[in-house]
Structure 1
Amino acid sequence: MASLPASPAPTDTPVTLDDVFAARARIAGSVVRTPTLVSKTLSQFVGATVYLKFENLQFTAAYKERGALNTLLQLSTEQRAKGVIAASAGNHAQGLAYHGIRLGIPVTIVMPRSTPTVKVTQTEGHGATVILEGETFDEAYAHARKLEASNGYTFVHPFDDPRIVAGQGTIALEMLEDAPGIDSFVVPIGGGGLISGIATVAKAQSRPIEVIGVQAELYPSMYNRVSGQSLPIGGDTLAEGIAVKEPGGLTAQIVKALVDDIVLVSERSLEESVSLLLQIEKTVVEGAGAAGLAALLTHKERFAGRHIGIVLCGGNIDTRLLANVLLRDLARSGRLARLRVRLQDRPGALFGVAKIFHEQAVNIIEIYHQRVFTTLPAKGLITDIECETRDRPHLDRLIDALRAAQYEVSLVELA
């Protein structure tokens, strides 16, 4: 956790409360006024009153529409005619494409060649022209800037722009109207546009409201910037929407001035949060959208007794990845398991094991035999059995029963 400098008056920052109110007036009726609802179950789980802002219910399933639309509506007639460009492989691309085309503004999006096909297809589906260039985001960004200069496009930055920040800040206005008791915001940080907008609103209130940022442990870029540390940045994170190596200069200025703390969360806590939100709230969020809940799970004592607003900032997660996250969560809870059992290679050996599974009312899903690639003698074999149990105590009873029958058994653990 990084404690930040004391906050000066909000008027010292580049975006004001008036800017956010103006943004709300501009975008009203063109973005979904998503609900802010208290989660009774999650509140009990973390020991605080938890309010969820369902920004995953926007048309493009992410909050990015707000800042993008606020920016587009402030372009001149000439800028609209020439069109806009952005470098993005995520929610910014879709939000800009959807509202740009809806307003009759040509939109070009530059994406790295490694961008998943589904994201390219979704962005093109909104009417944008997609250009695949470079192997990394930095190369795509550089190419977008070249096209901006050569074609006269207006570049729309995903976070480092006061118009973007003001648009994202409209989320906090709605949350405080719907849940005036909120005394803390816990907000994901990538480039910093979302938390900058929310902090601008929160710190302009007549009562103290704490603003806490959340970053994935693999991408602590804003944490490093404001705390003066140099934690390593990089790796495969579930929270790809906030996997930003370099935060914005404008947003870093606002974060330093207005944000109280930044906390880091692990990949495991992000996975658990995605799964909990689906199971408890029946809502699909991407990794970045679950970061606020992950912070509450990781730092329960930090937030105990508070009235906390968290933003489910996006719901664009690959279905195969979501399935993997859910299965891993089942495995960690003991409801899905793989047991490795040593057997003798003779008739009836597997039947004896299966009989114990039956007696313990455990469902067998898959069985894998391994006779060749093993260090056991030629008459020995390893059998991996995937099974489904009610809970961890049920799994423990099964393992005890197998060992009582003189089977050598071990649980194949997840990382």
Structure 2
Amino acid sequence: MIRAPAREGVIEAAEKIAAILPPTPLLPVEIDGVQCWAKAENLQPIGAFKIRGAWHRLTALSEDERSRGVVAVSSGNHAQGVAWAARRLGIRAAIVMPRDAPQVKLDNTRALGAEIVLYDRPGEDRDAIAAELIRERGGTLVHAFGDPWVIEGQGSAGIEIAAQLGKQPSRIVACCGGGGLAAGLALACPDSAIHVVEPFGWDMVGQALAAGKIVPVAPDAPATICDALQPTATKQLNLDLLSGRAEPGVTVTDAEVRDAQRWAFAHLRLVLEPGGAAALAAALAGKVPLDRGTAIMLTGGNADPKAFARTLSADA
């Protein structure tokens, strides 16, 4: 039987993560006269929330599974989370990454000791490459958003937010790729509205929620600077967890994301990568409702230095 993610698992994940990492800050922010909150997951040791799901998943492996290693597919942040956890636990890790991933993410993943297997996007099927690696070598696939333990681990951020606020937030605005974070937050905070924010043309979770079924990305999907938010489709597991729980999805443009990066740097003194700024972009653009109980997820800070400098100078 396939294991189903549950709130009890989210709580367990939060306890495991609290044993090794301090909570990330929940910062007060004012947007359009409304004071709300920003969860600075970009300040995690790997610069992104993905460390949560990776740690919960890898610590749940049996000794036999650990001996055979893990395989993951990622544009960079999940890669670093898996590599960080694998190094700490003494587990071999191979990560399938796009050749055009930001160099900082490739370099950081290698520095953490993981093997990188490159592929071309578009053109090559990253999941097929991962499956072939597992067929040849053995090992456990640690899916970036469709794994029950990964979903629970990401949801641990919601447990932290509730503890920091002293109550569940009224709503959580979350950057969304495949829907692992949003699904985990829905489990963690059952009384909170969940808003998923995706890049324009890559709203595979939002479209799936509207259609009630998996929707693949269009073959002519536009380019986006949000490299971390480009799955070709969500998974049924994520859709099942979010259906009836998530608010209608919203999309943000590259220009709105760059505005959010500049805003976070100017007002919070934080560096956000494009995908990590998507939720903030939606809030600043008035695309999601805000109130004093709103928590906005700042999910990643692994920005390419040159691209970030161009964004700050408004030359992008």
Cross-structure match for 1:75:
61
Letter of the structure 2 residue corresponding to residue 108 of structure 1: A
Task: Name the SS of the counterpart of 2:244 in structure 1.
Answer: helix
Cross-structure match for 2:204:
221
- Contact 1:234 1:245 survives alignment (8 Å): no
> Can you list the C-alpha shifts for 1:12-37, whole angstroms capped at 9, x where unaligned?
x9422211111122233323421112
TM-score w.r.t. the length of structure 1 is 0.70
- Contact 1:97 1:123 survives alignment (8 Å): yes
Q: CA deviation at 1:266?
A: 1.7
Instruction: Tell me: CA distance 1:245–1:57, structure 2 relative to 1, closer, same or farther (3 Å).
Output: same
Task: Name the SS of the counterpart of 1:242 in structure 2.
Answer: coil
1:162-241 correspondence runs (5 A): 162-180=148-166, 182-203=169-190, 208-228=191-211, 232=218, 234-241=221-228
- d(CA) in 2 for partners of 1:268, 1:120: 25
Task: Please say if 1:278 is aligned against 2:261.
Answer: no
TM-score w.r.t. the length of structure 2 is 0.91
1:14-163 correspondence runs (5 A): 14-39=4-29, 43=30, 45-136=31-122, 138-163=124-149
Matched residue count: 309
| Sequence identity (%) | 31
Letter of the structure 1 residue corresponding to residue 6 of structure 2: T
Letter of the structure 2 residue corresponding to residue 241 of structure 1: A
Task: Please say if 1:243 is aligned against 2:230.
Answer: yes
Greater shift, 81-90 or 156-165, is seen at 81-90
Q: CA deviation at 1:200?
A: 0.9
Task: Please say if 1:258 is aligned against 2:248.
Answer: no
| Stretches of structure 1 lacking an aligned partner (at least 5 in a row) | 1-12, 332-413
Letter of the structure 2 residue corresponding to residue 158 of structure 1: A
Greater shift, 192-201 or 214-223, is seen at 214-223
- d(CA) in 1 for partners of 2:65, 2:276: 32
- Contact 2:76 2:106 survives alignment (8 Å): no
> Can you list the C-alpha shifts for 1:247-281, whole angstroms capped at 9, x where unaligned?
12211111113212211112211110010000110
Cross-structure match for 1:269:
256
- Contact 1:216 1:264 survives alignment (8 Å): yes
Instruction: Tell me: CA distance 1:248–1:47, structure 2 relative to 1, closer, same or farther (3 Å).
Output: farther
Q: CA deviation at 1:290?
A: 1.1
- d(CA) in 1 for partners of 2:276, 2:155: 16
- d(CA) in 2 for partners of 1:326, 1:163: 37
Q: CA deviation at 1:299?
A: 2.1
Q: CA deviation at 1:236?
A: 2.2
Task: Name the SS of the counterpart of 2:94 in structure 1.
Answer: strand
- Contact 1:49 1:306 survives alignment (8 Å): yes
Letter of the structure 2 residue corresponding to residue 54 of structure 1: A
- Contact 1:112 1:139 survives alignment (8 Å): no
Note the aligned Cα RMSD (angstroms).
2.1
- Contact 2:207 2:249 survives alignment (8 Å): no
- Contact 2:102 2:304 survives alignment (8 Å): no
